[in-house]
Amino acid sequence: MTYNNILLERHDPVALIRLNRPKVLNALNSALMSELSDLLKELEQDDEVRAIVITGNEKAFAAGADISEMQALDFSRAYREQFISSNWEQVTRCRKPVIAAVAGVALGGGCELAMMCDVIIAADSARFGQPEVKLGILPGAGGTQRLTRAIGKAKAMDLCLTGRMMDAEEAERSGLVCRIVPAATLVDDAIAMAGEIAQNSLMATMFNKEAVNQAFETSLGTGVDYERRLFWASLDTEDRKEGMAAFLEKRSPRWKHR
Ligand code: CO8
């Protein structure tokens, strides 16, 4: 498939997706989100890919939804066309691990896209924010919900109500990003992290991802129950048998990803 707004680099077993509308700081328009959604579905089916990195460029992960596209929208059209359609949620449906590697700005829909990924790794140049309030709107792709769960009400209110940006240090301190790396090595570091994840059994990775995500959907008791059942299920995989056998035989496991 040909893509005009994103680039794919293969570093098997890691796939690197670069958002690529540099002239508008990777503003996320429908065409880009549709391509991203299609590519994620494609990579999901690709057995050679076991982890995915989404990044932008040194100036911007993404400066938000494309304001020039949104300007023409009103309620009835947005409702009819289901603006914020399923394309925006595709990242959350991907069962393989997805890392957001953020340099420069991740604002509005850009911050929301990063938060839909499993984990965010930030360059020291990264800046995050939900500046929608300055446009007379509010986040529309999960920002108020995911940001609040990630960094708590106090900081989420601060960011959403003032529209200010937070830098990488503050984002790490607040729990939005897992680590900060130099901007110059961001993509390499993200690929290395994805590669480390990809060395593990894909089955085990998917189980872990599903269980952690469940923490955002349920009460503690239900979540622990959910985890226990997934744990029991994991006992039946070929990789579990291989993983434990390899440990006891003091050798590296040979995963079948089954
Ligand atoms: N949409 C469209 N174009 C943009 C966007 C954007 N979000 N951000 C930047 N651009 C364009 C600028 O218009 C400019 O274009 P041109 O060169 O043709 O004038 C170019 O990118 C470079 O931008 P600036 O000249 O403004 O660059 P600066 O370095 O001076 O400033 C900023 C960088 C601070 C990032 C500034 O560009 C800015 O404030 N951008 C807008 C940020 C913003 O408000 N984002 C939120 C958008 S609303 C949103 O995301 C709602 C999400 C709801 C979910 C949607 C689901 C479909």
Strand partners, 54: 17, 100
Number of CB atoms found within 10 A of residue 60's CB? 23
CA of 63 to the centre of ligand 1 (A): 5
Question: How far does the centroid of ligand 1 lie from the alpha carbon of residue 247, in Å?
Answer: 51
C-alpha to C-alpha distance for 215 and 220, rounded to whole angstroms: 7
**Which residues have a catalytic role annotated?**
65, 109, 112, 132
Asked whether the whole model's pTM tops 0.95, one would answer yes
Q: What are the structure tokens assigned to 187, written together?
A: 């993509």
Q: What's the pLDDT score for residue 126?
A: 98
Burial class (CB in 10 A: 0-12, 13-18, 19+), 145: middle
pLDDT in tens, the chain (258 residues): 789 999 999 999 999 999 999 999 999 999 999 999 999 999 999 999 999 999 999 999 999 999 999 999 999 999 998 887 789 999 999 999 999 999 999 999 999 999 999 999 999 999 999 999 999 999 999 999 999 999 999 999 999 999 999 999 999 999 999 999 999 999 999 999 999 999 999 999 999 999 999 999 999 999 999 999 999 999 999 999 999 999 999 999 999 989
Written in H, E and C, the secondary structure of 129-183 is: ECHHHHHCCCCCCCHHHHHHHHHHHHHHHHHHHHCCEEEHHHHHHHCCCCEEECH
> Do 127 and 186 contact (CB within 8 A), yes or no?
no
List residues near ligand 1 (CB under 6 A).
24-25, 27, 63-68, 83-84, 88, 105, 107-109, 131-132, 135, 139-141
pLDDT at res. 127: 98
What residue's CA is closest to ligand 1, atom 13?
A: 24
* Ligand 1 atom closest to 135 (CA): 44
**Burial of 47: CB neighbours in 10 Å, binned 0-12, 13-18, 19+:** exposed
51-55 vs 165-167, strand pairing mode: unpaired
Q: Parallel, antiparallel, or unpaired for β 105-107 and 98-102?
A: unpaired
Across-strand partners of 55?
Answer: 18, 101
Residue 127 CA to residue 54 CA, distance in Å, equals: 16
CATH classification code of 6-199: 3.90.226.10
Tell me the DSSP string of 36-95: HHHHHHHHHH-TT--EEEEE--SSEEE-SB-HHHHTT--HHHHHHHTSS-HHHHHHHH--
Which residue among 19, 20, 21, 25 has the greatest number of ligand 1 atoms within 8 angstroms of its CB, and so is best to mutate? 25
Q: Which of 57, 58, 67 to mutate to test the pocket of ligand 1 (most atoms within 8 A of CB)?
A: 67
Question: What is the rounded distance in angstroms from the CA atom of residue 144 to the CA atom of residue 96?
Answer: 25
pLDDT computed for residue 1 by the predictor: 78
Ordered by start, the domain boundaries in the chain are 6-199, 202-249
pLDDT of residue 173: 98
pLDDT value for 76? 94
**Beta partners for 65?**
28
**Which stretch of DSSP H or E encloses residue 99?**
strand 98-102
- CATH (one of 3.30.1330.60, 1.10.12.10, 1.10.1740.10, 1.10.510.10) for 202-249: 1.10.12.10
**Ligand 1 atom at shortest distance from the alpha carbon of 64:** 50
